[in-house]
């Protein structure tokens, strides 16, 4: 969905006007995808804006940076405070927040180590990522593109370049008339959507793919698992075959952007009664 312009973006410790938040065209990240990022939701509450699981998102941001040997020039506490500052400075009550750590202008070539590590944080109003699918349910197709496996790229790191894999699956789904793609891992088991974790329900049991299925360990996924346990549901993490999904009673995606989005159809087959 289109980006609704806000006023200010935090860049390397300073707030700069939205339209002046620019980097050099020869920055390493543009050519080689050498960046890591997070996506967070801020919700309006009676006590003011609240960023959902902010500390956990920043912890994962630093983990992703460590995987790619990017030394973030700020502490976790400084990045946490910067996220809050961006929300306040833009006068936002509900918004999406995107911290980005990236390799900037330095040297050209695959080796990124001599390129400086930069940090930017943007925030803007953002509605439902999958649009009307949040209410009516998503129509999904299994992608012909497999999810990257752990011995090719580390799927537990939320890295910019990884999402080229997701883009292929997403474009294929959209051009085919669907809302979203469902990707398989290298062994043919269900992995995740192009940017969401996957859950199914069968006979009252909630089932979701395990970390070994090349998934990103989603923070919303973790929240759903915790809440389900607290509500007395059985949650199982195991490999799921494609055919199993067709027989599910319910299916849904989870993610910061997608929140919890019901799935009503997979590969032309209704899930349950076909209603969210």
Q: Which domains does the chain have, with CATH numbers?
A: 8-124 (3.30.470.10), 133-270 (3.20.10.10)
CA 204 to chain centre: 27
Q: Is 202 a catalytic residue?
A: no
The sign of the torsion formed by the CA atoms of 176, 177, 181, 184 equals negative
pLDDT at 255 (0 to 100): 95
In whole angstroms, what is the distance from residue 119 CA to residue 2 CA?
23
pLDDT at 258 (0 to 100): 86
In whole angstroms, what is the distance from residue 209 CA to residue 253 CA?
12
Q: Are 10 and 80 in contact (CB under 8 A)?
A: no
pLDDT at 135 (0 to 100): 75
For 151, residues 6+ apart whose C-beta sits below 8 A from its C-beta are none
- What end-to-end distance do the CA atoms of the chain give, in Å? 22
pLDDT at 126 (0 to 100): 86
At 119, phi and psi to the nearest 5? -135, 135
Per-residue confidence of the chain (276 residues) as pLDDT tens digits?
A: 789 999 999 999 999 999 999 999 999 999 999 999 999 999 999 999 999 999 999 999 999 999 999 999 999 999 999 999 999 999 999 999 999 999 999 999 999 999 999 999 999 998 766 666 667 899 999 999 999 999 999 999 999 999 999 999 999 999 999 999 999 999 999 999 999 999 999 999 999 999 999 999 999 999 999 999 999 999 999 999 999 999 999 999 999 988 999 999 999 999 999 988
In whole angstroms, what is the distance from residue 8 CA to residue 104 CA?
20
In whole angstroms, what is the distance from residue 96 CA to residue 106 CA?
30
Active-site residue identified among 22, 76, 84, 158? 158
Q: Are 37 and 61 in contact (CB under 8 A)?
A: yes
Scan for tokens 């009252």, then name that residue: 204
pLDDT at 1 (0 to 100): 72
Q: Which class for 186: exposed (0-12), middle (13-18), buried (19 or more C-beta within 10 A)?
A: middle
In whole angstroms, what is the distance from residue 231 CA to residue 28 CA?
47
Q: Are 138 and 57 in contact (CB under 8 A)?
A: no
pLDDT at 132 (0 to 100): 67
DSSP 137-162: -EEEEE-SSPPPPTTTS-TTS-BGGG
pLDDT at 215 (0 to 100): 98
Helix ranges (DSSP H) in the chain: 28-32, 54-67, 76-89, 133-136, 163-175, 219-230, 242-246
Taking residue 14's Cβ as centre, other Cβ atoms within 10 Å add up to: 8
The sign of the torsion formed by the CA atoms of 224, 82, 9, 62 equals negative
């Amino acid at each position: 969905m289109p980006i609704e312009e806000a006023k200010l973006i935090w860049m390397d410790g300073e707030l700069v006007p939205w339209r002046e938040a620019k980097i050099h065209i020869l920055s390493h990240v543009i050519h080689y995808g050498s960046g890591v990022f997070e996506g967070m939701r801020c919700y309006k509450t009676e006590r003011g804006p609240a960023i959902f699981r902010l500390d956990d998102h920043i912890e994962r941001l630093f983990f992703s940076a460590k995987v790619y040997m990017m030394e973030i020039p700020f502490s976790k506490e400084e990045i946490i405070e910067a996220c809050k500052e961006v929300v306040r400075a833009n006068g936002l009550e509900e918004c999406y927040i995107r911290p980005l750590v990236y390799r900037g202008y330095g040297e050209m070539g695959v080796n990124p180590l001599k390129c400086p590590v930069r940090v930017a944080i943007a925030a803007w109003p953002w509605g439902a990522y999958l649009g009307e699918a949040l209410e009516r349910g998503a129509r999904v197709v299994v992608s012909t593109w497999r999810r990257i496996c752990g011995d090719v790229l580390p799927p537990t790191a939320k890295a910019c370049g990884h999402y080229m894999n997701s883009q292929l699956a997403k474009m294929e789904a959209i051009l085919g008339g669907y809302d979203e793609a469902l990707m398989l891992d290298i062994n043919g088991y269900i992995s995740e959507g192009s940017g969401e974790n996957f859950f199914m329900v069968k006979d009252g049991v909630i089932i979701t793919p395990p970390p070994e299925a090349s998934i990103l360990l989603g923070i919303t996924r973790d929240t759903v698992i915790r809440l389900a346990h607290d509500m007395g549901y059985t949650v199982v993490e195991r490999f799921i075959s494609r055919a199993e999904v067709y027989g599910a009673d319910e299916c849904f995606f989870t993610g910061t952007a997608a929140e919890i989005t019901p799935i009503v159809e997979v590969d032309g087959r209704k899930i349950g009664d076909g209603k969210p």
